[in-house]
Chains A and B, each alone.
Chain A
Amino acid sequence: QKEVEQDPGPLSVPEGAIVSLNCTYSNSAFQYFMWYRQYSRKGPELLMYTYSSGNKEDGRFTAQVDKSSKYISLFIRDSQPSDSATYLCAMRGSRSGGANNLFFGTGTRLTVIP
Protein backbone atom coordinates (compact mmCIF):
# COMPACT_ATOMS: atom_id res chain seq x y z
CA GLN A 1 0.00 0.00 0.00
CA LYS A 2 1.30 3.45 -0.90
CA GLU A 3 1.76 5.91 1.95
CA VAL A 4 -0.39 8.49 0.14
CA GLU A 5 -3.19 7.74 -2.31
CA GLN A 6 -4.62 10.32 -4.68
CA ASP A 7 -7.05 9.89 -7.57
CA PRO A 8 -5.10 10.94 -10.67
CA GLY A 9 -8.19 12.08 -12.54
CA PRO A 10 -8.33 13.70 -15.00
CA LEU A 11 -11.09 15.91 -13.65
CA SER A 12 -12.93 18.36 -15.92
CA VAL A 13 -15.34 20.95 -14.55
CA PRO A 14 -17.11 24.01 -15.99
CA GLU A 15 -15.92 27.46 -14.98
CA GLY A 16 -17.48 28.55 -11.69
CA ALA A 17 -17.88 25.02 -10.32
CA ILE A 18 -16.75 23.94 -6.87
CA VAL A 19 -13.90 21.47 -7.10
CA SER A 20 -13.10 18.86 -4.48
CA LEU A 21 -9.70 17.15 -4.50
CA ASN A 22 -8.83 14.44 -2.01
CA CYS A 23 -6.04 12.30 -0.63
CA THR A 24 -5.96 9.43 1.82
CA TYR A 25 -2.96 8.26 3.75
CA SER A 26 -1.95 5.35 5.91
CA ASN A 27 0.70 6.76 8.28
CA SER A 28 -0.88 8.13 11.44
CA ALA A 29 2.38 9.96 12.23
CA PHE A 30 1.74 12.53 9.50
CA GLN A 31 1.12 15.92 11.10
CA TYR A 32 1.75 18.49 8.38
CA PHE A 33 -0.28 18.57 5.19
CA MET A 34 0.31 20.54 2.04
CA TRP A 35 -1.27 21.11 -1.32
CA TYR A 36 0.94 22.04 -4.24
CA ARG A 37 -0.23 23.23 -7.66
CA GLN A 38 1.85 22.24 -10.65
CA TYR A 39 1.29 23.76 -14.06
CA SER A 40 2.36 21.79 -17.09
CA ARG A 41 6.16 21.56 -17.35
CA LYS A 42 6.69 23.68 -14.23
CA GLY A 43 7.72 22.96 -10.66
CA PRO A 44 5.20 22.52 -7.82
CA GLU A 45 4.03 25.74 -6.16
CA LEU A 46 2.80 25.66 -2.55
CA LEU A 47 -0.91 26.50 -2.24
CA MET A 48 -1.93 25.53 1.27
CA TYR A 49 -0.12 24.35 4.40
CA THR A 50 -1.95 23.01 7.46
CA TYR A 51 -1.00 21.39 10.72
CA SER A 52 -3.00 18.56 12.27
CA SER A 53 -6.78 18.44 11.87
CA GLY A 54 -9.11 21.26 10.91
CA ASN A 55 -9.85 23.71 8.12
CA LYS A 56 -7.83 26.51 6.58
CA GLU A 57 -9.16 29.02 4.10
CA ASP A 58 -7.25 31.26 1.71
CA GLY A 59 -9.35 33.14 -0.82
CA ARG A 60 -11.11 30.62 -3.05
CA PHE A 61 -9.17 27.70 -1.56
CA THR A 62 -10.06 25.69 1.54
CA ALA A 63 -7.96 22.84 2.91
CA GLN A 64 -9.48 20.29 5.28
CA VAL A 65 -7.73 17.64 7.32
CA ASP A 66 -9.51 14.78 9.06
CA LYS A 67 -6.82 12.84 10.91
CA SER A 68 -9.30 10.35 12.37
CA SER A 69 -10.17 9.23 8.84
CA LYS A 70 -6.67 9.88 7.43
CA TYR A 71 -8.28 12.01 4.73
CA ILE A 72 -7.45 15.45 3.42
CA SER A 73 -9.30 17.64 0.94
CA LEU A 74 -8.77 20.78 -1.08
CA PHE A 75 -11.83 22.73 -2.19
CA ILE A 76 -11.70 25.34 -4.92
CA ARG A 77 -14.67 27.69 -5.12
CA ASP A 78 -15.66 29.60 -8.28
CA SER A 79 -13.10 27.67 -10.29
CA GLN A 80 -11.34 29.53 -13.11
CA PRO A 81 -9.60 28.33 -16.27
CA SER A 82 -6.34 29.51 -14.67
CA ASP A 83 -6.87 26.84 -12.00
CA SER A 84 -6.25 24.16 -14.64
CA ALA A 85 -3.19 22.31 -13.34
CA THR A 86 -2.13 19.20 -11.49
CA TYR A 87 -2.73 19.34 -7.74
CA LEU A 88 -0.39 17.34 -5.53
CA CYS A 89 -1.02 16.58 -1.90
CA ALA A 90 2.03 16.15 0.32
CA MET A 91 2.53 15.37 3.97
CA ARG A 92 5.13 14.63 6.60
CA GLY A 93 5.51 13.66 10.22
CA SER A 94 6.51 15.85 13.10
CA ARG A 95 10.25 16.00 13.46
CA SER A 96 12.35 18.44 15.39
CA GLY A 97 15.60 19.31 13.65
CA GLY A 98 16.81 17.59 10.52
CA ALA A 99 15.29 17.79 7.08
CA ASN A 100 11.78 17.40 5.88
CA ASN A 101 10.98 14.25 3.91
CA LEU A 102 7.68 14.80 2.15
CA PHE A 103 5.40 12.03 0.97
CA PHE A 104 3.53 13.02 -2.18
CA GLY A 105 0.38 11.82 -3.86
CA THR A 106 0.56 11.22 -7.60
CA GLY A 107 -1.43 14.38 -8.33
CA THR A 108 -4.89 15.06 -9.77
CA ARG A 109 -5.02 16.77 -13.13
CA LEU A 110 -7.77 19.40 -13.21
CA THR A 111 -9.16 21.17 -16.27
CA VAL A 112 -11.60 24.07 -15.85
CA ILE A 113 -13.55 24.61 -19.04
CA PRO A 114 -14.53 28.21 -19.90
Chain B
Amino acid sequence: DAMVIQNPRYQVTQFGKPVTLSCSQTLNHNVMYWYQQKSSQAPKLLFHYYDKDFNNEADTPDNFQSRRPNTSFCFLDIRSPGLGDAAMYLCATSRDTNIQYFGAGTRLSVL
Protein backbone atom coordinates (compact mmCIF):
# COMPACT_ATOMS: atom_id res chain seq x y z
CA ASP B 1 0.00 0.00 0.00
CA ALA B 2 1.28 3.45 -0.90
CA MET B 3 2.29 5.32 2.25
CA VAL B 4 3.52 8.63 0.81
CA ILE B 5 1.37 9.69 -2.10
CA GLN B 6 2.22 12.49 -4.47
CA ASN B 7 -0.15 14.05 -6.96
CA PRO B 8 0.00 14.54 -9.79
CA ARG B 9 2.75 12.24 -11.05
CA TYR B 10 3.35 14.53 -14.01
CA GLN B 11 2.62 18.23 -14.16
CA VAL B 12 3.06 20.54 -17.11
CA THR B 13 2.81 24.27 -16.54
CA GLN B 14 3.59 27.41 -18.44
CA PHE B 15 6.40 29.79 -17.66
CA GLY B 16 5.22 32.07 -14.86
CA LYS B 17 1.96 30.20 -14.18
CA PRO B 18 1.59 29.20 -10.50
CA VAL B 19 1.51 25.50 -9.78
CA THR B 20 0.78 23.43 -6.67
CA LEU B 21 2.07 19.94 -5.97
CA SER B 22 0.45 17.73 -3.36
CA CYS B 23 1.74 15.17 -0.87
CA SER B 24 -0.24 13.04 1.55
CA GLN B 25 0.87 10.36 3.98
CA THR B 26 -0.75 7.53 5.92
CA LEU B 27 2.21 6.99 8.28
CA ASN B 28 1.21 9.66 10.81
CA HIS B 29 4.76 11.00 10.67
CA ASN B 30 5.35 14.40 12.22
CA VAL B 31 7.99 15.59 9.74
CA MET B 32 7.38 16.22 6.04
CA TYR B 33 10.05 17.27 3.55
CA TRP B 34 10.15 18.63 0.02
CA TYR B 35 13.14 17.92 -2.21
CA GLN B 36 13.99 19.03 -5.73
CA GLN B 37 15.88 16.53 -7.87
CA LYS B 38 17.25 17.45 -11.28
CA SER B 39 18.49 14.89 -13.76
CA SER B 40 21.56 12.95 -12.53
CA GLN B 41 21.75 15.06 -9.38
CA ALA B 42 21.22 14.36 -5.70
CA PRO B 43 17.90 15.36 -4.15
CA LYS B 44 18.16 18.89 -2.79
CA LEU B 45 16.19 19.73 0.33
CA LEU B 46 13.97 22.78 -0.15
CA PHE B 47 12.25 22.89 3.25
CA HIS B 48 10.57 20.75 5.85
CA TYR B 49 7.80 20.92 8.40
CA TYR B 50 8.55 19.61 11.86
CA ASP B 51 5.03 19.31 13.19
CA LYS B 52 3.64 22.76 12.38
CA ASP B 53 7.00 24.49 12.35
CA PHE B 54 8.24 25.47 8.91
CA ASN B 55 11.99 25.24 8.27
CA ASN B 56 13.31 26.78 5.08
CA GLU B 57 16.74 25.94 3.67
CA ALA B 58 18.89 29.04 3.30
CA ASP B 59 19.29 28.70 -0.45
CA THR B 60 15.67 27.90 -1.32
CA PRO B 61 14.35 30.62 -3.64
CA ASP B 62 11.42 32.74 -2.46
CA ASN B 63 9.51 31.43 -5.47
CA PHE B 64 8.98 28.19 -3.54
CA GLN B 65 6.46 28.09 -0.71
CA SER B 66 4.84 25.34 1.29
CA ARG B 67 1.70 24.73 3.31
CA ARG B 68 0.83 21.99 5.74
CA PRO B 69 -2.85 22.26 6.70
CA ASN B 70 -2.78 19.09 8.80
CA THR B 71 -0.53 16.14 9.71
CA SER B 72 -1.38 14.16 6.60
CA PHE B 73 -1.03 16.75 3.84
CA CYS B 74 1.68 19.06 2.60
CA PHE B 75 1.72 21.26 -0.50
CA LEU B 76 4.51 22.77 -2.55
CA ASP B 77 3.58 26.03 -4.29
CA ILE B 78 5.75 27.44 -7.05
CA ARG B 79 4.58 31.00 -7.53
CA SER B 80 6.18 31.80 -10.88
CA PRO B 81 7.84 28.74 -12.39
CA GLY B 82 10.86 29.32 -14.56
CA LEU B 83 12.50 26.95 -17.01
CA GLY B 84 15.11 26.16 -14.37
CA ASP B 85 12.42 24.82 -12.04
CA ALA B 86 11.71 21.84 -14.27
CA ALA B 87 12.64 18.86 -12.11
CA MET B 88 11.36 15.92 -10.11
CA TYR B 89 9.87 17.06 -6.81
CA LEU B 90 10.02 14.52 -4.02
CA CYS B 91 8.06 14.49 -0.80
CA ALA B 92 9.36 12.51 2.17
CA THR B 93 8.18 11.90 5.72
CA SER B 94 9.79 10.75 8.95
CA ARG B 95 9.06 10.30 12.62
CA ASP B 96 11.47 12.83 14.15
CA THR B 97 15.02 11.92 13.12
CA ASN B 98 14.18 8.43 11.95
CA ILE B 99 14.16 7.01 8.44
CA GLN B 100 12.73 9.13 5.65
CA TYR B 101 10.16 7.52 3.38
CA PHE B 102 9.75 8.99 -0.07
CA GLY B 103 6.82 9.32 -2.42
CA ALA B 104 7.05 8.45 -6.11
CA GLY B 105 7.62 12.10 -7.02
CA THR B 106 6.02 14.64 -9.32
CA ARG B 107 7.83 15.40 -12.54
CA LEU B 108 7.33 19.06 -13.41
CA SER B 109 7.77 20.40 -16.92
CA VAL B 110 7.77 24.14 -17.63
CA LEU B 111 6.94 25.27 -21.14
Residues on A facing B (Cβ under 8 Å): 4, 8, 34, 36, 41-46, 49, 88, 92, 95-102, 104-107, 109
* CB atoms of B102 and A43 under 8 A apart: yes
Contact among A4, A43, A46, A97 for B90, CB-based, below 8 A: A43
- What are 23 A-B pairs with beta-carbon distances under 8 A? A8-B40, A36-B102, A41-B88, A41-B105, A41-B107, A42-B104, A43-B4, A43-B90, A43-B104, A44-B90, A46-B99, A88-B43, A99-B31, A99-B50, A99-B94, A99-B96, A100-B96, A101-B48, A102-B45, A102-B100, A104-B42, A105-B42, A109-B40
Residue of B nearest to A97 (CB): B96
Residue of A nearest to B57 (CB): A101
- Let me know if B97 is at the binding interface, CB within 8 A: yes
* CB atoms of B40 and A100 under 8 A apart: no
Size range of the interface on B? 20 to 34
Contact among A8, A36, A99, A106 for B55, CB-based, below 8 A: A99
* CB atoms of B45 and A100 under 8 A apart: no
- Let me know if B75 is at the binding interface, CB within 8 A: no
Residues on B facing A (Cβ under 8 Å): 4, 6, 31, 33, 40-43, 45, 48, 50, 55, 88, 90, 94, 96-105, 107
Rounded to whole angstroms, the CA-CA distance of A18 and B45 in the bound complex is 32
